[in-house]
Amino acid sequence: MREAFHDQLDAIFVDLATMCGQVETAVNRATASLMSGDAAIAEEVISADRAIDANRERVEDNAFALLSLQQPVAGDLRVVVSALRMVSELERMGDLSVHVAKIARLRVPNIAVPESIQDTVVKMAETAEDMVRRVKAIIADRDVEAAIELGRDDEVMDQLRRKSFAELLGDDWQHGVEAAVDIALLGRYYERIADHAVSVANRVIFVVTGEQVSRADR
């Protein structure tokens, strides 16, 4: 009975890693739509979010079933509760990718990101996607060392966010208020994707070690 229970726990983590892969694709495609002004790609991202939502429901249903039928305690309870929190974070990352795609769609046939700041936005997008890719492996392997490293590397995103604000507020900004609002929102969306990735990684640390980790501990 306990072996079957742990197999079910492992299956939940497989589903979480799969969902993280879907989020990785969403971030990648949302950025592609943003930088190309391609409405079709943006619509693809928006439509694909339904699959991420469906996966969240499946993970939640399986986790709640384990809670009600198996009544786990101690370490097993920690795993199930953490999985419920992680799936919520992953769904939110997918939602943020949709927000990026909606900005892209809103500005079609134009490109929402002015050329002068494209390099910074692309670096933010690449950083966010890389963090999602890494957290997928962290979930699959329950890799504590990689989770700790991911949290430390989050400073890269913070630096890019500060750089984007400096460019928006600089005297050289000539793209108007509308573009400034778009860039401010995009920076926030990519930053939050990275923050959620770190939060998921921290929850993996908690699952494995039982120790709570905050950003102040990094």
Residue 30: name the closest of 114, 118, 94 by CA.
Answer: 94
d(CA 2, CA 81): 18
d(Cα 19, Cα 96) in Å, to the nearest integer?
Answer: 14
* H, E, C per residue of 36-83: HCCHHHHHHHHHHHHHHHHHHHHHHHHHHHHHHHHCCCHHHHHHHHHH
In Å, what is the CA distance from 93 to each residue of 46, 49, 129, 162, 191? 13, 10, 11, 21, 10
The single-letter code of the amino acid at 120 is T
Domains delineated in the chain: 2-217 (1.20.58.220)
* Closest to 84 measured CA to CA, from 192, 201, 200, 189: 200
Along the 218 residues of the chain, how does pLDDT read in single tens digits?
A: 567 777 888 899 999 999 999 999 999 999 999 999 999 999 999 999 999 999 999 999 999 988 887 776 777 888 889 999 999 999 999 999 999 999 999 999 999 999 999 999 999 999 999 999 999 999 999 999 999 999 888 899 999 999 999 998 888 899 999 999 999 999 999 999 999 999 999 999 999 998 887 655 55
- The span from the CA of 202 to the CA of 217, in Å, is 11
Transcribe 133-181 into DSSP letters: HHHHHHHHHT-HHHHHHHHHHHHHHHHHHHHHHHHHHSTT--SHHHHHH
Task: Give the integer Cα–Cα distance in Å for 167 and 178.
Answer: 15
Summarize pLDDT for 117-159 with one digit per residue, the tens.
Answer: 999 999 999 999 999 999 999 999 999 999 999 988 889 999 9
